[in-house]
Structure 1
């Protein structure tokens, strides 16, 4: 039986790249600005929604984010939190970043099964470095619900 490979590589920049990316998402959300939110998205970014939609390219994804940011803010604030970083090459990083719905005191709300309630999400992002700049190549998000295999 063949041993499973360890695919991680040493990358001093991976953690910084992911934290910078998450800070950009937070700034875009906080300022309700899709340009800021998407400034690190590659032209051919692929996005998978939790409901099975596949969005192909920045030109298709950006107008969706513009629409979301233009809607009146209702519900809780959110905080982006880096949960895991895995460099698989010096120029490719896979990251899990949670978008946590916050209660009135700024604490994360507990997961809920009620689709009408605010919910947190976990997203997997693939970042690729080109010419010294890190870009989002792919993302997939899913709501965080109670009863997950591992605690949040």
Structure 2
């Protein structure tokens, strides 16, 4: 192995499978909350002291503040301000289990409308007393490919 890098993923197939299950369960929870336009359901895994990075560079600390934002985004009143969150599909892209009780995952939120706003999120989940909590997230808009980096194989 190259001395300048270090692998951080657990070399345990059971831990990897468990991490994949956690990531899939989070994606499913986000999907249910998004489809129902229910901010409380969407945010059900969010820790009280969550750190959140928006796709436009804003940072939010704490469940109460973030949940209030999600309530505004999912508001279905007429006319909604801002517009409600777009219908989307949540897909797990990658998963890493760096330590027991820690999962790091990329989950793509792909808008169902061709011209809809989509984003990739990096989530950090922590297990406490048998329950998984979203401790941190960073969202990045998905736009036309302008990067010199190759696309993800699953894309």
The residue aligned with 2:110 is 100
The residue aligned with 1:127 is 125
The residue aligned with 1:114 is none
Shift of 1:2: 2.9
Given the alignment of the two structures, is residue 78 of structure 1 paired with residue 91 of structure 2, yes or no? no
Given the alignment of the two structures, is residue 146 of structure 1 paired with residue 144 of structure 2, yes or no? yes
Q: How does 1:109-128 map to 2 (within 5 A)?
A: 109=114, 117-128=115-126
Counterpart of 1:25 (choices 11, 27, 30) is 30
Aligned residues: 140
In 2: Cα distance, 1:76 partner to 1:32 partner? 10
Q: TM-score, normalised by structure 1?
A: 0.85
CA, structure 1 residues 75+19, in 2 after alignment: closer, same or farther (shift >3 Å)?
closer
The residue aligned with 2:44 is 39
CA distances 1:59-84 after superposition (whole Å, capped 9, x unpaired):
11000001111145768521000000
Q: CA RMSD in A?
A: 1.8
Contact 2:75–2:84 (Cα < 8 Å) also in 1 = no
In 2: Cα distance, 1:75 partner to 1:31 partner? 11
The residue aligned with 1:65 is 70
CA, structure 1 residues 75+93, in 2 after alignment: closer, same or farther (shift >3 Å)?
closer
Contact 1:75–1:118 (Cα < 8 Å) also in 2 = no
Structure 2 gap ranges (5+): none
Shift of 1:51: 1.7
List structure 1 runs of 4+ shifted beyond 3 angstroms. 71-76
Secondary structure of the 2:29 match is: helix
Shift of 1:14: 0.5
CA, structure 1 residues 44+123, in 2 after alignment: closer, same or farther (shift >3 Å)?
same
Bigger Cα displacement from structure 2, 41-50 vs 3-12: 3-12
